[in-house]
């Protein structure tokens, strides 16, 4: 390391501005270190309890067939509950986990020790963000696995039960049974469901980034959480405001300006709400998913940049 | 690269005003403060609580921006990230990630400084030995005592082998034995040629380690200089003898009076309460 | 970078830190606004694409809001439409058990408005109306025969209407066509229209082969289309053994008699003496 340190020194430009250009690799290493520690921190804070609640919910939802629902309805209900819970839990977790990070570092003065090292503030923000996104990703994968396993098990059970029932009552030809099975399986486990899960994850990334931005301004976790929830809520109605701004040309000036401002400032979370469509069986093409991912990256980049601009001169 | 001549710390006309939000009044925390610390020198910043010591250090480390004036570390302006390459910082009442063990903590800060893997492992072993925390290296910081936290904090500050360390109240709230250890560590750093800036609100705590002190009050420097110069009473001389007979003492007294010097005081020197405590508890702890 | 070549070792920049900070804040606000303007049209176009992909159901009007109640309405707005609809299906089940046809009808109306693309809701709602509700009235001993017929008939028509609405929303779904055909066949005894609907169903993707047979069976019973039906049935017979179901053979035999097809031209092998 000393050789690396040594050949860095001379490159400090006299009077230059933030001369951290050299060693992007080193910077990635720092972000990785910060992300890893953040990941470990959230892991050891036992924030993963909500995964347990999720599993219980999904398992309970999977035993809902006391309702004499048809197999199809039963599987739909299971998907609704599981994906709904996944979406809600992931979003809430993203808000709360992100809100805990910077304010607690600030309060413990850990931030002072970190920034007293040669760590640019954007590295710090990006490291924290990557860490929390990593945690969210891991939880989404775990929930997806639980959900997939339960759905698959239920699907197999329902198919077996319905086929047995049909054979017993008689009058069904091979062909009819195949149709029955196919309809049932169309409600079961399939790849398109992964698009919904991916959308849930992308939405959480945006939530993390916007909450991170809030926490660079706020001084407490509680405040950050509250503002995070407000943004979460308004973000779901944002498209209404955008519609109003773009189409309600006859409305009053102030109303239009206000809705325009809301549409400009708040993220649009509706774009990520594709669970309903996917459960109803609509297939999301790859192109649409790519656009969604592109939008997410843009959101995360812009919000991180704004977070840095706000955080750059913050007094610690 | 005439870095030999570059001061480890230069503070030039530093003023820091905390602007009060809403109805609160603005606070002038530091006023026109200037000082320089040479490489390898141990400098003590002394002053009562609220006199602006921590604020000065935070500006020096780029944690807050000055309202006026400038600060630099080895010639690099504090507002630049690379000014922090050569400095280690131990804040007042430090807290680190409580879920990390002592070793993980040092690893974390070492990696932030870009220390390579192999070098870091050796460095951490060395530091753990230096601050005598080898036995606790695998325990999470959650269970560390105040003194242990200060020492892991010191190790953390030293992890990238900086040429300057800044310690804010390193002995505050630590028991005398712990305080002694920390002062020994500071002397050790001095031996190695590392410049140290430390602050304290107690003069006695720093007087044996500092080459130079600055006394700061209400944000302004009121006195600065070499420790001996500041506290010695210039027209007095102290003679300490061991096993002197009553007769000898009598002869000295006569000698003094015969030579036109005023005899002020004679008696047995008192040990300080602290050294008594240390002597009595030596070897009993742990 | 040493003091020698850089006498003022401090940053030489006249701008005060406060000014810099304020500039950065202004930049932050500006970036947010510019990003907002930039993404507005992009998100608008994505929204359009989502609608085209049927990912976004139509807006929820005031009527839905009143029927749903505040909490469910918010949930539906927040991307939990499917879940709300699922819970409504549980509610509908209770209403069925309580033979509350009025509520049941409105619940299915709500479910299908929340998720018009879930064919199962249309199918099931229509079944409740055209079969369960209508039978409930038609078989009700306490009412006079006139009232029974009137109410029963009305629910059958409701079921038919409901399915037609469902087909408008899911034109590619064969099952809804099949169910509509079944209502014409079972409830109206209208074999001609049943034949047409089965035929449409048979052409849709994923339709099972029996739809084609059913279309031919119904056509055989439709006055005036016997020749057409005979051709269809004969075609199916010729296609393979898998179509030679007892019903098909029976219908074919009936038509051959009815249309007096000469022995030599008949499709069915001559029966033994
Ligand atoms: N963030 C801050 N906002 C407002 N006032 C502050 C802030 N930090 C310190 N001060 C004030 O500045 C003065 C100096 O504080 P400090 O530097 O912490 O003193 P010391 O470290 O010598 O005890 C005190 O009056 C303190 O109240
Ligand atoms: Mg202080």
pLDDT in tens, C44-87: 899 889 988 888 766 777 777 778 887 888 788 777 888 888 88
Q: What is the pLDDT of residue B280?
A: 63
Residues 6+ apart with CB under 8 A from B19: B26
What percent of chain A has a predicted confidence (pLDDT) above 70? 89
Residue with the larger pLDDT of the pair A149 and A60: A149
In a domain, B28, yes or no: yes
Nearest chain C CA: its distance from A305 CA (Å): 8
Q: How many Cβ atoms sit within 10 Å of the Cβ of residue B159?
A: 23
Q: Spell out which residues line ligand 1, taking CB within 6 angstroms.
A: A 315; B 18, 27, 29, 47, 49-55
Q: Which residues of B touch A10 (CB under 8 A)?
A: 1
pLDDT for position A20? 38
Percent of chain A predicted with pLDDT > 90: 45
Task: Provide the pLDDT confidence category of residue A195 given band limits of 50, 70 and 90.
Answer: very high
pLDDT at B168 over 80: yes
Contacts 24+ apart (CB under 8 A), B189-192: B189/B42, B189/B158, B189/B165, B190/B40, B190/B42
State the pLDDT at residue B269.
67
Say if A316 is an interface residue toward chain C (CB within 8 Å): no
CB B63 within 8 A of CB B83: no
Are B220 and B261 members of one domain? no
Same domain assignment for residues B276 and B200:
yes
Is the same domain home to B165 and B74?
yes
Interface pTM (ipTM) of the complex?
Answer: 0.83
CB spacing of B81 vs A119 below 8 angstroms: yes
Distance B93 CA to ligand 2 centre (A): 9
Which domain covers residue B254, as residue numbers? 235-269
- Mutating to test ligand 1, I would choose from B20, B25, B50 the residue with most ligand atoms within 8 A of its C-beta, which is B50
Length of chain B in residues, anyone?
A: 286
Residue C112 has what pLDDT?
Answer: 92
In a domain, B37, yes or no: yes
Query: What is the tens place of the pLDDT at every residue in A167-178?
Result: 887 767 777 788
Q: Report the pLDDT value the prediction gives residue B273, as an integer from 0 to 100.
A: 60
The pLDDT, as a whole number, for residue C78 is 75
What is the band of C271 on the pLDDT scale with cuts at 50, 70, 90? low
Does B261 share its domain with B198? no
d(CA A69, CA A85): 21
Inside any domain, residue B135: no
Confidence grade of residue A243 (pLDDT, cut at 50, 70, 90): confident
How far apart are the C-alpha atoms of A160 and A65, rounded to whole Å?
A: 14
Question: Which of B150-154, B214-218, B269-273 has the lowest average pLDDT?
Answer: B269-273
Model confidence at B23: pLDDT above 80: no
pTM for this one?
A: 0.83
Q: Identify the DSSP state of B101.
A: B
Whether residue B173 sits in one domain with residue B86:
yes
Atom of ligand 1 nearest to the CA of B53: 22
Structural domain includes residue B47: yes
- Closest residue on chain A to C84 (Cα): A80
- Contact partners for chain A, using 3 or more CB pairs closer than 8 A, are B, C
Residues in chain C closer than 8 A to A176 (CB atoms): 208, 210
DSSP H helices in chain A: 2-8, 24-44, 49-62, 71-108, 110-115, 121-169, 174-186, 191-217, 221-247, 253-265, 275-279, 286-311
Query: Strands, DSSP E only, in chain B?
Result: 9-18, 27-37, 42-46, 68-73, 76-77, 87-90, 164-168, 195-200, 212-217, 220-226
Residues in chain A within 8 Å Cβ distance of B119:
1-2
Distance from the alpha carbon of residue B215 to the mean position of ligand 1, in angstroms: 16
Ligand 2 centroid to residue A110 C-alpha, Å: 16
Candidate from C2, C18, C21 with C-beta closest to B75: C2
Residue B26 alpha carbon to ligand 1 centre in Å: 11
pLDDT score of A26 more than 80: no
Average pLDDT of B178-200? 91
Residue C6 has pLDDT above 60, yes or no: no
With a CB cutoff of 8 Å and minimum separation 6, the contacts of A186 are A281
Judge if B164 and B89 occupy the same domain.
yes
pLDDT tens-place string over residues A196-231 = 999 999 999 999 999 999 999 998 999 999 999 999
More confident residue, A67 or C146: C146
Model pLDDT, residue A13:
36
Predicted confidence (pLDDT) per residue in C148-158, tens digit: 888 899 999 99
User: How many angstroms does the Cα of residue B220 sit away from the middle of ligand 1?
Assistant: 13
- Please check whether residue B31 is in contact with residue B66, taking contact to mean a CB–CB distance below 8 angstroms: no
The structure tokens 């039906």 sit at C229
Q: Are residues B161 and B245 in the same domain?
A: no
How many Å lie between the alpha carbon of B64 and the closest alpha carbon of chain C? 10
Answer yes or no: is pLDDT of C272 > 60: no
| One domain for residues B200 and B256 | no
B10 and C9 within 8 Å at the Cβ level: the answer is yes
Q: Are A311 and A216 in contact (CB under 8 A)?
A: yes
Cα Rg of chain B (Å, integer): 22
Predicted pLDDT at C69: 80
Give the per-residue pLDDT at C27: 93
Which of A112, A127, A314 has the most B C-beta neighbours within 10 Å, making it the best mutation to test the interface with B?
A: A112
Q: Which of the other chains make 3 or more beta carbon contacts under 8 angstroms with chain C?
A: A, B
Of C85, C90, C210, the CB nearest to A175: C210
Residue B206 lies in a domain: yes
**Which residue of chain C comes nearest to A86, CA vs CA?**
C80
pLDDT for the residue numbered B283: 58
- Asked whether residue B89 falls in the same domain as residue B166, the answer is yes
Best probe of the A interface among C25, C31, C50, C88, by most A CBs < 10 A, is C50
Per the structure, the count of domains in chain B is: 2
A vs C, Cβ pairs < 8 A, gives 158
> Mean of the pLDDT values across residues B83-88?
93
Above 70 in pLDDT, residue B65? yes
Mean pLDDT of C226-235: 88
CA-to-CA distance for B124 and B110, rounded, in angstroms?
9
Ligand at minimal distance from the CA of B51 is 1
Q: What is the pLDDT of residue C15?
A: 62
Judged against a pLDDT cut of 60, whether residue A19 lies above it is answered with no
Q: Between chains, do A41 and B97 touch, taking CB under 8 Å as contact?
A: yes
User: What was the pLDDT predicted at C256?
Assistant: 84
Average pLDDT, chain C: 85
Does B75 share its domain with B32? yes
pLDDT per position as a tens digit, A264-294: 889 999 899 898 889 888 889 999 999 999 9
Kindly state whether B282 is in contact with chain C, defined as any CB-CB distance less than 8 angstroms: no
Burial B60-76 (b: 16+ CB within 10 A, else e): bbbbbbbbebbbbbbbb
Note the pLDDT tens digit of each residue in C31-47.
Answer: 999 999 999 889 889 98
Please name which of B180, B157, B210 lies closest in space to residue B41, comparing C-alpha atoms: B210
Of B127, B122, B179, nearest to B150 (Cα)? B179
pLDDT at A223: 95
Q: Which of A49-53, B187-191, C152-156 has the lowest mean pLDDT?
A: A49-53
In-domain check, residue B145:
no
Nearest CA to ligand 1 atom 21: B54
CB contact under 8 A, B76 and C17: no
Shared domain for B219 and B241, answered yes or no, is: no
CB distance from B85 to chain C under 8 Å?
A: no
User: Does residue B101 belong to any structural domain of this protein?
Assistant: no
A63-97 pLDDT, tens digit per residue, is: 766 555 677 888 888 898 899 999 999 999 999 99
The pair phi, psi for residue C8, each rounded to 5°, is -80, 105
% of chain C exceeding 90 in pLDDT: 38
Domain for residue B86, yes or no?
yes
**B271: confidence class by pLDDT, cuts 50, 70, 90:** low
Around C89, how many Cα atoms within 13 Å sit in the side-chain half-sphere? 31
CB contact under 8 A, B6 and C3: yes
Contacts of A285 in chain C (CB under 8 A): 53
Residue B68 shares a structural domain with residue B164? yes
CATH code for the domain of B75: 3.40.50.300
């Amino acid at each position: 390391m000393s050789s690396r340190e040594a050949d860095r020194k001379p490159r400090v430009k006299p009077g230059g501005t933030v001369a951290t250009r050299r060693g992007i690799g080193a910077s990635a290493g720092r972000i990785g270190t910060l992300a890893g520690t953040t990941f470990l921190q959230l892991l050891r804070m036992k924030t993963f309890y909500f995964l347990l609640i999720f599993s219980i919910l999904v398992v309970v939802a999977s035993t809902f067939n006391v309702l004499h629902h048809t197999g199809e309805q039963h599987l739909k209900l299971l998907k609704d509950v599981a994906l709904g819970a996944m979406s809600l839990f992931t979003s809430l977790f993203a808000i709360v986990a992100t809100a805990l990070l910077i304010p607690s570092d600030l309060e413990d003065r850990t931030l002072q020790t970190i920034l007293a090292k040669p760590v640019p503030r954007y590295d710090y923000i990006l490291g924290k963000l990557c860490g929390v996104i990593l945690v969210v990703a891991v939880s989404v994968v775990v929930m997806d696995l639980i959900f997939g396993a339960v759905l698959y098990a239920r699907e197999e059970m329902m198919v077996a039960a319905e086929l047995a029932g049909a054979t017993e009552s008689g009058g069904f030809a091979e062909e009819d049974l195949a149709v029955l099975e196919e309809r049932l399986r169309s409600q079961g486990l399939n790849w398109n469901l992964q698009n919904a899960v991916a959308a849930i994850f992308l939405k959480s990334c945006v939530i993390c980034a916007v909450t991170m931005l809030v926490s660079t301004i706020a001084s407490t976790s509680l405040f950050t959480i509250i503002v995070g929830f407000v943004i979460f809520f308004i973000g779901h109605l944002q498209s209404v405001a955008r519609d109003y701004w773009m189409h309600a040309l006859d409305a009053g000036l102030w109303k239009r300006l206000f809705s325009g401002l809301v549409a400009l400032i708040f993220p649009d979370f509706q774009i990520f709400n594709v669970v309903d469509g996917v459960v109803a069986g609509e297939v999301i093409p790859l192109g649409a998913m790519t656009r969604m991912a592109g939008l997410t990256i843009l959101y995360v980049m812009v919000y991180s940049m704004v977070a840095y601009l706000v955080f750059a001169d913050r007094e610690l | 690269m005439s870095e030999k001549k570059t001061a480890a710390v230069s503070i030039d006309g530093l003023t820091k005003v905390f602007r009060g939000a809403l109805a609160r009044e603005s606070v002038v925390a530091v006023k026109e403060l200037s000082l320089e610390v040479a490489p390898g020198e141990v400098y003590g910043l002394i002053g009562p609580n609220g006199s602006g010591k921590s604020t000065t250090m935070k500006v020096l480390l780029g944690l807050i921006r000055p309202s006026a004036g400038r600060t630099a570390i080895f010639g690099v302006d504090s507002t630049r990230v690379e000014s922090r390459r050569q400095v280690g910082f131990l804040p007042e009442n430090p807290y680190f990630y409580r879920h990390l063990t002592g070793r993980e903590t040092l690893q974390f800060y070492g990696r932030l400084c870009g220390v390579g893997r192999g070098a870091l492992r050796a460095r951490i072993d060395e530091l753990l030995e230096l601050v005598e925390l080898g036995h606790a290296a695998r325990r999470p910081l959650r269970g560390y005592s105040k003194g242990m936290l200060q020492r892991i904090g010191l190790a953390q500050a030293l992890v990238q082998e900086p040429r300057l360390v800044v310690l804010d109240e390193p002995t505050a709230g630590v028991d005398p034995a712990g305080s002694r250890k920390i002062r020994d560590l500071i002397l050790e750093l001095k031996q190695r040629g590392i410049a140290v800036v430390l602050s304290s609100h107690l003069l006695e705590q720093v007087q044996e380690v500092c080459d130079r002190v600055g006394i700061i009050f209400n944000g302004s420097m009121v006195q600065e200089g070499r420790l001996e110069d500041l506290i010695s009473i210039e027209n007095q001389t102290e003679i300490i003898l061991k096993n002197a007979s009553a007769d000898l003492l009598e002869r000295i007294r006569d000698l003094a009076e015969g030579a036109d010097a005023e005899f002020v005081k004679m008696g047995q020197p008192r040990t300080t309460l602290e050294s008594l405590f240390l002597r009595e508890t030596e070897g009993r702890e742990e | 970078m040493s003091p020698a070549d850089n006498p003022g070792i401090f940053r030489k920049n006249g701008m005060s830190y406060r000014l810099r900070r304020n500039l950065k804040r202004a930049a932050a606000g500006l970036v947010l606004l510019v990003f907002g303007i930039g993404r507005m049209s992009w998100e608008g176009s994505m929204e359009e694409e989502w609608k085209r992909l049927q990912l976004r159901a139509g807006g929820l009007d005031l009527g839905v809001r009143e029927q749903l109640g505040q909490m469910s309405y918010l949930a539906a707005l927040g991307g939990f439409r499917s879940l709300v609809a699922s819970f409504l299906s549980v509610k509908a089940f209770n209403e069925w058990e309580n033979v509350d046809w009025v509520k049941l009808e409105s619940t299915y109306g709500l479910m299908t408005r929340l998720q018009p693309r879930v064919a199962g809701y249309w199918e099931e709602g229509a079944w409740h109306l055209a079969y369960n509700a209508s039978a409930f009235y038609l078989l009700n001993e306490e009412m006079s025969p006139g009232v029974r017929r009137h109410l029963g008939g009305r629910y059958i028509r409701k079921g038919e209407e409901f399915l037609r609405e469902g087909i408008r929303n899911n034109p590619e779904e064969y099952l809804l066509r099949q169910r509509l055909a079944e209502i014409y066949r079972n409830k109206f005894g209208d074999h001609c229209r049943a034949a047409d609907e089965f035929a449409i169903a048979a052409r849709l993707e994923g339709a099972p082969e029996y739809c084609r047979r059913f279309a031919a069976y119904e056509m055989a019973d439709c006055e005036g289309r016997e020749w057409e039906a005979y051709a269809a049935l004969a075609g199916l017979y010729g296609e393979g053994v898998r179509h030679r179901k007892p019903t098909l053979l029976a219908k074919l035999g009936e038509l051959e008699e009815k249309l007096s097809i000469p022995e030599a031209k008949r499709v069915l092998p001559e029966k033994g003496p």
